[in-house]
A and B are shown apart, each in its own frame.
Chain A
Amino acid sequence: MGLFDKFKNISTSIAVLEDKCSAFFHIVVEDLLSSTEAVIDGRKVILAGTNNYLGLPLRQECIKAACDAIQREGTGTTGSRMANGTYSSHIEFEKDLSDFFGRSTTIVFTTGYSANLAMLSTLVGPRDTVLLDADCHASIYDGCRLGGVQVFRFHHNDVEDLEKRLKRLKSQDGEVLIVVEGLYSMLGDRAPLADIVALKEKYHAYLLVDEAHSLGVLGEKGRGLAEEAGVEAEVDFIVGTFSKSLGSVGGFCTSNHEELEIIRYASRPYVFTASSSPANIAAAKAALSIIRSEPQLRVRLWENATALYGRLKDMGFKVGPEPSPIIPVRCDRIEEAFRIWNGLLENGVYVNMVLPPATPDGTALLRCSLSAAHSRQQVEKIAQAFGAVQSPV
């Protein structure tokens, strides 16, 4: 019995995939040509699976801010936020985020993953209860597991199912935290947040919303689903990432509970990791400033998203439940997903391929994500590539 024997099933699955869809394991961006184009395997492709919703990683303001920060503060902090790794730029950006969200307190974490890991492992403990949407991100599940809180799942976006589970909990001790996402990363649909807020109030629970995919994407000011749904005051904690709309690396939690500050001292994923690099903080700060000053980026993103969603739907593809910058195309058979994904690449389009068990309902997904940086012509080329690989009816 060897150390690696437990991975036998994974090895077998990889071997099957290698045989049928070898390119899947060899996606390397050899040359990044723009926010929406790259050279992969020697071929120029349109990038339609990058979560780069606003095209900010290559904006000159962000690049310059990152370069200046490196010149000024170096390439890394070499320490935890609790030791030598808190620079004035971390504090300033926490203030920026508090101001943007209209909240009293913000903590910046090193990644979006560690933001969820830190919050879910620390905010609630073994006496408490988390009710989470079944489609929540792995970082939320992992945080719950690390802290040992009792976890119950409710069916994805099913408010009745959530209430059924809240009713059953009535006699339990401890606090209840409901966890949902603004935009779900696989299906691209929104949480029914106003209804969830009503239940949170009715059952005296707390509510945490992960706006990883909705920051800069939803809401008049880009603050996410809570803003769009008009329920910001009722959402206790907003968690987010810098690695999507903000085009950097990092994460945060913001709240009007001033006691949030205590998490810094109690959270292992905050204490025992190096802080974000000065370049990452500077780039995210510059990107947030752009999100605040250029609402037209969101308008362009949604025009692109709505156009592609409509084109794919009209062609008969099984798209997600609503138009969104995340557009999943469902394939009932994995072999069909391989064929279309390979065909898209040959036609100069890269999308994500997500296979079970990572998909919500066991089907294979071809996941497109749109950007404000895509031109109308590129959106049309993506649609045409799908058309070219469509199975004859």
Chain B
Amino acid sequence: MKADKVVLEKIVEILQPHVSGGVEITPAMDIESDLAIDSLKSMEILANLEDAFDLSIPINVLSEVRTVEDLAIQVQKLIEA
């Protein structure tokens, strides 16, 4: 499954303020190691995504997510469910 472009762009927009040093976020980036976003911050970002997509996103999805694209795929699955 590939992430929808619109979903991916929205996620990048939400992640960007949490990333320091002007790093340009790409889909393949590892959220923890490349973007230095820890588990606590990930849960806060998830809440922002819930509001942005008016969607319920359980924190359980984080165990399936390593990269930005993984996150977009999980969100897309929930939108389509």
Residues of A within 8 A of B (CB): 129, 134, 145, 148, 150-153, 155, 164-165, 168-169, 172, 356-357, 362
Residues of B within 8 A of A (CB): 38-41, 43-44, 46-47, 50-51, 54-60
- What residue of chain A has the Cβ atom nearest to residue B46's Cβ? A153
- What residue of chain B has the Cβ atom nearest to residue A356's Cβ? B40
- The reply to whether B60 and A169 form a contact with Cβ atoms under 8 Å apart is no
Partner pick for B54 among A129, A153, A168, A357, CB 8 A cutoff: A168
Interface centre among B39, B40, B43, B55 (most CB of A within 10 A): B40
- The reply to whether A150 and B60 form a contact with Cβ atoms under 8 Å apart is yes
What are 17 A-B contacts with C-beta separation under 8 Å?
A129-B58, A134-B44, A134-B47, A148-B60, A150-B60, A151-B58, A152-B50, A152-B56, A152-B57, A152-B58, A153-B47, A165-B50, A165-B56, A168-B50, A168-B56, A172-B56, A362-B40
Please measure, in the bound complex, the distance between the C-alpha atom of A129 and the C-alpha atom of B56, giving whole angstroms.
Answer: 11
- The reply to whether B58 and A150 form a contact with Cβ atoms under 8 Å apart is yes
Cβ distance A20 to chain B, nearest Cβ, rounded Å: 20
- The reply to whether B55 and A168 form a contact with Cβ atoms under 8 Å apart is yes
Partner pick for A153 among B38, B51, B55, B59, CB 8 A cutoff: B59
Please measure, in the bound complex, the distance between the C-alpha atom of A362 and the C-alpha atom of B40, giving whole angstroms.
Answer: 9
Majority DSSP secondary structure for residues of B touching A: helix
Cβ distance B21 to chain A, nearest Cβ, rounded Å: 17
Cβ distance A159 to chain B, nearest Cβ, rounded Å: 15
- What residue of chain A has the Cβ atom nearest to residue B43's Cβ? A153
Partner pick for B38 among A148, A164, A168, A357, CB 8 A cutoff: A357
Please measure, in the bound complex, the distance between the C-alpha atom of A151 and the C-alpha atom of B56, giving whole angstroms.
Answer: 10
Q: Which residues from chain A contact B59 at a C-beta distance below 8 Å?
A: 151-153
- What residue of chain B has the Cβ atom nearest to residue A171's Cβ? B56
Cβ distance B51 to chain A, nearest Cβ, rounded Å: 8
Interface centre among B39, B50, B55, B57 (most CB of A within 10 A): B50
The list of the 4 closest CB pairs from A to B, nearest first, reads: A150-B58, A357-B40, A168-B56, A151-B59
- What residue of chain B has the Cβ atom nearest to residue A358's Cβ? B40
Given the interface pairs A165-B50, A168-B54, the reply to whether A151 lies near B60 with Cβ below 8 Å is yes
Q: Which residues from chain A contact B38 at a C-beta distance below 8 Å?
A: 357
- The reply to whether B43 and A134 form a contact with Cβ atoms under 8 Å apart is yes
Cβ distance A258 to chain B, nearest Cβ, rounded Å: 30
- What residue of chain A has the Cβ atom nearest to residue B59's Cβ? A151
- What residue of chain B has the Cβ atom nearest to residue A172's Cβ? B56
Q: Which residues from chain B contact A134 at a C-beta distance below 8 Å?
A: 43-44, 47
Question: Known pairs A169-B56, A357-B38. 6 more at Cβ < 8 A?
Answer: A134-B47, A150-B60, A152-B58, A152-B59, A165-B56, A168-B54
Cβ distance B81 to chain A, nearest Cβ, rounded Å: 10
Partner pick for B47 among A148, A150, A155, A362, CB 8 A cutoff: A155
Q: Which residues from chain A contact B60 at a C-beta distance below 8 Å?
A: 145, 148, 150-151
Q: Which residues from chain A contact B54 at a C-beta distance below 8 Å?
A: 168
Cβ distance A120 to chain B, nearest Cβ, rounded Å: 13
Q: Which residues from chain B contact A152 at a C-beta distance below 8 Å?
A: 50, 56-59
Please measure, in the bound complex, the distance between the C-alpha atom of A172 and the C-alpha atom of B57, giving whole angstroms.
Answer: 12
- What residue of chain A has the Cβ atom nearest to residue B58's Cβ? A150
Q: Which residues from chain B contact A357 at a C-beta distance below 8 Å?
A: 38-41
Please measure, in the bound complex, the distance between the C-alpha atom of A134 and the C-alpha atom of B56, giving whole angstroms.
Answer: 15
Q: Which residues from chain A contact B44 at a C-beta distance below 8 Å?
A: 134
Q: Which residues from chain B contact A155 at a C-beta distance below 8 Å?
A: 47
Please measure, in the bound complex, the distance between the C-alpha atom of A150 and the C-alpha atom of B74, giving whole angstroms.
Answer: 14
- What residue of chain B has the Cβ atom nearest to residue A359's Cβ? B40
Cβ distance B10 to chain A, nearest Cβ, rounded Å: 18
Q: Which residues from chain A contact B58 at a C-beta distance below 8 Å?
A: 129, 150-152
